Amino acid sequence: MRHHRPIYTPAMLLRTFVAWAVTLFLFFPLGWMALTAFKTELQAIAVPPLMLFEPTLENFAIVQERSDYMHYALNSLITSVSATILGLALAAPAAYAMAFYPSKATKDVLLWMLSTKMMPAVGALMPIYVLSQAAGLLDSLFALTVIFTLSNLPIMVWMLYAGFKDIPKEILDAARMDGASLWQEARLVLLPLAMGGIASTGLLCLVLSWNEAFWSLTLTAAKAGTLAALIAQYSSPEGLFWAKLSAASLLAIAPIVVFGWFSQKQLVQGLTFGAVK
């Protein structure tokens, strides 16, 4: 096919300009944080702000020395991965039932589930704290995993429900006519067709759990603390240490940003699967 030179209309140029402006605006705090992480504490608070400086890795060394980064990172990893797996295991059957065998109450149940997300987390702080305490689960990875799972469950059910809804039920009927058991139907037909939706749901749960700060800070201390707790250590009563705080933050978000970058490509592949192949 012949390629035509693209023609830009004023509207297109304006759109492009606005898109870039918004992107830069949103990215600026993150970019600034990344820069600050490589400054000394003095450079970090310099007025006017320094754009050019000799980068240093000192902050990262101090953060690693003072608080064991790997310990927190591992806690984040364990809780978010477990919460994602547990969440998918619970949400998938629920979404399956609601998408393919809806009853009159299905819409209400979906709305009710979503409504629990409207409640501020702090509203449930007292009961959950007391329950965790009574069960001896304060500062435990188990309690955190359960909380992450439950708080993400409504969104996961919704996303999977939407993904499953796109699959014609007759295809599943056909699988059963072909002799597939429920498990074979799920594994050989539903799973490959819903892979895009399942992957994006899992990814979202992973990111939300990784970034979760409220429950991590209130329910954990040294033992089960996640990276959110690590960051919080650097805004302490001793004062703010911008460079170290930035370094700790950068270390905390780096894994999930890298992960998101790669899984994004996976996701696009997952979504177009079957249509092209």
The helix/strand/coil state of 240 is: strand
**Region of 16-24, 65-73, 146-154, 178-186 interacting with another protein (CB under 8 A):** 178-186
Q: Is 108 in the site for another protein (CB under 8 A)?
A: no
The helix/strand/coil state of 105 is: coil
Q: What does the DSSP assignment read for 68-123?
A: -HHHHHHHHHHHHHHHHHHHHHHHHHHHHHHHHS--TTHHHHHHHHHHGGGS-GGG
List the one residue from 17, 93, 168, 222 that touches another protein (CB under 8 A).
Answer: 168
**Region of 10-18, 66-74, 105-113, 267-275 interacting with another protein (CB under 8 A):** 267-275
**Least distance (Å) between residue 195 CB and another protein:** 9
Q: Is 173 in the site for another protein (CB under 8 A)?
A: yes
**Region of 11-19, 22-30, 164-172, 253-261 interacting with another protein (CB under 8 A):** 164-172
Q: Is 105 in the site for another protein (CB under 8 A)?
A: no
Q: Is 107 in the site for another protein (CB under 8 A)?
A: no
**Least distance (Å) between residue 169 CB and another protein:** 9
The first and second tokens of residue 34, run together, are: 């990344």
Q: Is 183 in the site for another protein (CB under 8 A)?
A: no
Q: How many beta carbons lie within 10 A of that of residue 205, not counting itself?
A: 27
- How many chain residues touch another protein (CB under 8 A)? 22
Phi–psi pair at 222, nearest 5 degrees: -65, -40
Q: What does the DSSP assignment read for 14-30?
A: HHHHHHHHHHHHHHHHH
One-letter identity of residue 97: A
- Asked if the peptide bond before residue 154 counts as cis, ω within 30 degrees of 0, the response is no
Phi–psi pair at 39, nearest 5 degrees: -100, 165
- Give dist(CA 85, CA 91) in Å, integer: 10
**Region of 23-31, 58-66, 167-175, 215-223 interacting with another protein (CB under 8 A):** 167-175
- Give dist(CA 123, CA 159) in Å, integer: 25
**Least distance (Å) between residue 220 CB and another protein:** 42
List the one residue from 61, 89, 192, 240 that touches another protein (CB under 8 A).
Answer: 192
**Least distance (Å) between residue 109 CB and another protein:** 18
Q: Is 184 in the site for another protein (CB under 8 A)?
A: yes
List the one residue from 170, 237, 238, 262 that touches another protein (CB under 8 A).
Answer: 170
Burial 213-234 (b: 16+ CB within 10 A, else e): eebbeebbeeebbbbbbbbebb
- Contacting positions for another protein (CB under 8 A): 168, 170-171, 173-181, 184, 188-189, 192-193, 273-277
